[in-house]
Amino acid sequence: IKFDAGTLLLSTHRLIWRDQKNHECCVAIPLSQIVFIEEQAAGIGKSAKIVVHLHPAPPNKEPGPFQNSKNSYIKLSFKEHGQIEFYRRLLEEMTQRRWENMPASQSLQTSRGSQPGRVRAVGIVGIERKLEEKRKETDKNISEAFEDLSKLMIKAKEMVELSKSIANKIKEKQGDITEDEERGGIMSLTEVYCLVNRARGMELLSPEDLVNACKMLEALKLPLRLRVFDSGVMVIELQSHKEEEMVASALETVSEKGSLTSEEFAKLVGMSVLLAKERLLLAEKMGHLCRDDSVEGLRFYPNLFMTQS
């Protein structure tokens, strides 16, 4: 085979020569094999050339026109034109070394001969794909950031709405016995949380949102208030509700039965164990009850230490 009339093609990965007449005949050399290149200017009777100095052939070298050569370079002879431009482009590819970042699509074999157009497309398409990915990523980050901001604005709106809706509900129900009153005028915050979110169905409130909204109740002059017991338990109670008065009736109940645990008291009075315990603890704090803490559990007794001599 004589390699004297053909077209030289440059991709990001390879240097390809294709025979002018027989397009099936192609040879290629990976750019990674190139050590350096030099120009040889045209002269009288001489065409411009590019000398391509190569690394020794690797053991897994693709089969080619020659198995080996005593030379460590090849010469590209530009009979017509294009040497200057080609040199510039080749040098650029050598500098950029893009074959290191992008895997080549397929190996080139002389028998097969691929279309230069497609080889070139792989490289460019690869670049284009990367650019597209990058653009999409940037887009995503921007929209996510804006999402957070809009979510925040929604939350703030929600809290104001919640406080207002509670206020309205109360206005409507004024005069009739409300569910609140039926519950003894006091409800633990977890109970409120469940009821409110169940009623909303969608766009549920987080616990923090609920606490923050409830903290505003008194300031908004609503007939409800948030109360925090010593134990840390939080409740919502009607402004009209007087827990301290409930304590007096709790004492009566305990005295009647001699002694009661929180569970027993809760069952008797018909309230949650959590609130029952808080009431008994408050009664103890006020000196009306005392405690018996043993393996049998925690029981409350009337405070005979104070009443009996």
Strand partners, 144: none
Site string for other proteins, 209-248 (x = CB under 8 A): ----------------------------------------
Q: Check residue 62 and report its DSSP letter.
A: P
CB of 301: closest distance to other proteins in angstroms?
5
Q: Does 203 bind other proteins (CB under 8 A)?
A: no
Positions 140 through 169 that interact with other proteins (CB under 8 A): none
CB of 260: closest distance to other proteins in angstroms?
13
Checking phi first, is residue 47 left (phi over 0); if not, alpha (psi -120 to 50) or beta?
Answer: beta
Positions 243 through 262 that interact with other proteins (CB under 8 A): 259
Number of residues that bind other proteins (CB under 8 A): 16
Looking at residue 205, its amino acid is L
Q: Does 297 bind other proteins (CB under 8 A)?
A: no
CB pairs under 8 A, 24+ apart, for 59-67?
Answer: 62/107, 62/108, 62/109, 63/109, 63/110, 64/27, 64/110, 65/1, 65/3, 65/27, 65/110
Which lies closer to other proteins via its Cβ, residue 181 or residue 256? 256
Cβ neighbours of residue 297 under 8 Å, at least 6 residues apart?
A: 261
- Out of 58, 207, 287, 297, the residue judged to bind other proteins by CB under 8 A: 287
Phi, psi of 30 (to 5 degrees): -70, 140
Strand partners, 287: none
- 35 and 53 in contact (C-beta within 8 Å)? yes
CB of 181: closest distance to other proteins in angstroms?
31
CB of 293: closest distance to other proteins in angstroms?
4
Cβ neighbours of residue 193 under 8 Å, at least 6 residues apart?
A: 205, 207, 210
- 31 and 15 in contact (C-beta within 8 Å)? yes
CB of 275: closest distance to other proteins in angstroms?
20
Q: Does 285 bind other proteins (CB under 8 A)?
A: yes
Q: Does 65 bind other proteins (CB under 8 A)?
A: no
Positions 265 through 284 that interact with other proteins (CB under 8 A): 284
- Out of 53, 98, 227, 291, the residue judged to bind other proteins by CB under 8 A: 291
Alpha-carbon span 241 to 225, nearest angstrom? 10
Strands 73-78 and 289-294 turn out to be: unpaired
CB of 242: closest distance to other proteins in angstroms?
21
Q: Give me the residues that bind other proteins (CB under 8 A), please.
A: 259, 284-285, 287, 290-294, 299, 301, 303-306, 308
